[in-house]
Chain A
Amino acid sequence: MEPVTLGYISVGVLILLLFSGLHIGIVMSLIGILGILYLAGWDAALGILNCVPYSTWASFDLCMVPLFILMGEFCFQGNLSKDLFSSAYKFLGSLKGGLAMATIGACALFAAVSGSSVATAATMATVVLPEMKKYNYDDSLSTGTLAAGGTLGILIPPSIYLVIYGMITQQSIGKLFLAGFIPGVLQALMFIAAIAILCYRNPRMGPAGPAVSWWEKIKSLKNIWIVVLLFLLIIGGINLGWFSPNEGAGIGAMGAFLFALARRKMSWQAFKNSLTETIKTTGMVFFIFLGAMILGYFFAMTRLPNELSNTVASLHISRYLVWAVIVLVYLFLGCVMDSMAMVLLTVPILYPLMCGAGGLGFNPIWFGIMIVIVVEMGLITPPVGINVFVIKGMAPDVPTYTIFKGIVPFLMMDILEIIILTVLPGIVTFLPNILK
Chain B
Amino acid sequence: MKNPKTHRLWSIINCLDKVINPLIKIATVIACTAVTLMMVLTFFNVTGRMAFDLPIKGYYEMIELFMLLMTVFAIGYTASLKGHIRVDILSNFISSRANRVLDIIANSVAFVFFVLVAWRGCVNGLTNFNGHLTTGVVHIPIYPFNFTLAIGAALLALVFFRDSLKAIYEVNR
Q: What is the number of residues of chain B that contact chain A, defined by CB distance less than 8 Å? A: 60
**Which residue of A30, A53, A251, A336 contacts B153 across the interface (Cβ within 8 Å)?**
A53
Bound CA span A341–B72, Å: 19
A25: chain B residues within 8 A (beta carbon) = 84-85
CB-CB nearest in chain B for A69: B35
16 residue pairs A–B, Cβ–Cβ below 8 Å: A21-B86, A21-B88, A23-B84, A46-B120, A59-B64, A63-B38, A67-B39, A242-B50, A246-B42, A253-B39, A254-B40, A276-B32, A282-B74, A283-B71, A336-B89, A338-B85
B12 to chain A, nearest CB (A): 23
| Structural contact, A70 and B90, CB atoms closer than 8 A | no
| Structural contact, B87 and A24, CB atoms closer than 8 A | yes
B72 to chain A, nearest CB (A): 6
CB-CB nearest in chain A for B35: A66
* A208-216, A284-292, A358-366, A393-401: which lies at the interface: A284-292
The residues of A with any CB-CB pair to B shorter than 8 Å are 18-26, 29-30, 33, 46, 49-50, 53-54, 56-60, 62-63, 66-67, 70, 242-243, 246-247, 249-251, 253-254, 257, 272, 275-276, 278-280, 282-284, 286-288, 336-338, 340-341, 383-384
B76: chain A residues within 8 A (beta carbon) = 283
**Which residue of A20, A57, A250, A254 contacts B102 across the interface (Cβ within 8 Å)?**
A20
A22: chain B residues within 8 A (beta carbon) = 86, 102, 105-106, 109-110
A23: chain B residues within 8 A (beta carbon) = 84-86, 106, 110
Q: A250-B42, A276-B77, A283-B84 given; name 13 further pairs at CB < 8 Å.
A: A20-B102, A23-B85, A23-B110, A49-B117, A57-B67, A57-B149, A58-B68, A59-B67, A66-B35, A70-B35, A283-B77, A336-B89, A338-B85
B96 at the A interface (CB under 8 A): no
Bound CA span A19–B88, Å: 7
| Structural contact, A283 and B78, CB atoms closer than 8 A | yes
Question: Could you give, for residues 39-76 of chain B, a 1 whenever the CB lies within 8 Å of some chain A CB and a 0 otherwise?
Answer: 11111011000100000000010011111101111111
A172 to chain B, nearest CB (A): 19
Q: A53-B117, A283-B75 are in contact. Are A337 and B42 (CB under 8 A)?
A: no
B129 to chain A, nearest CB (A): 15
Bound CA span A249–B67, Å: 14
Q: Which of B41, B42, B72, B99 has the most CB of A within 10 A?
A: B42
Query: Is chain B's binding surface mostly helix, strand, loop or mixed?
Result: helix
A7 to chain B, nearest CB (A): 21
| Structural contact, B85 and A284, CB atoms closer than 8 A | yes
Bound CA span A86–B153, Å: 46
Q: A21-B91, A30-B109 are in contact. Are A280 and B81 (CB under 8 A)?
A: yes
Question: Could you give, for residues 93-127 of chain B, a 1 whenever the CB lies within 8 Å of some chain A CB and a 0 otherwise?
Answer: 00000010011011001100100110011011000
| Structural contact, B42 and A26, CB atoms closer than 8 A | no
B60: chain A residues within 8 A (beta carbon) = 60
B6 at the A interface (CB under 8 A): no
Bound CA span A275–B70, Å: 11
A284: chain B residues within 8 A (beta carbon) = 78, 83-85
A61 to chain B, nearest CB (A): 10
B106: chain A residues within 8 A (beta carbon) = 20-23, 26
Bound CA span A294–B8, Å: 38
Bound CA span A247–B91, Å: 42
B38: chain A residues within 8 A (beta carbon) = 63, 66-67, 250
A26: chain B residues within 8 A (beta carbon) = 106, 109-110, 113
B123: chain A residues within 8 A (beta carbon) = 50
B158 at the A interface (CB under 8 A): no
Bound CA span A340–B86, Å: 12
Q: A251-B46, A283-B78 are in contact. Are A63 and B63 (CB under 8 A)?
A: yes
Please name the 4 residue pairs, one residue from A and one from B, whose CB atoms are nearest each other, closest first. A250-B42, A283-B78, A283-B74, A58-B68
Question: Could you give, for residues 16-44 of chain B, a 1 whenever the CB lies within 8 Å of some chain A CB and a 0 otherwise?
Answer: 00000000000010011001101111110
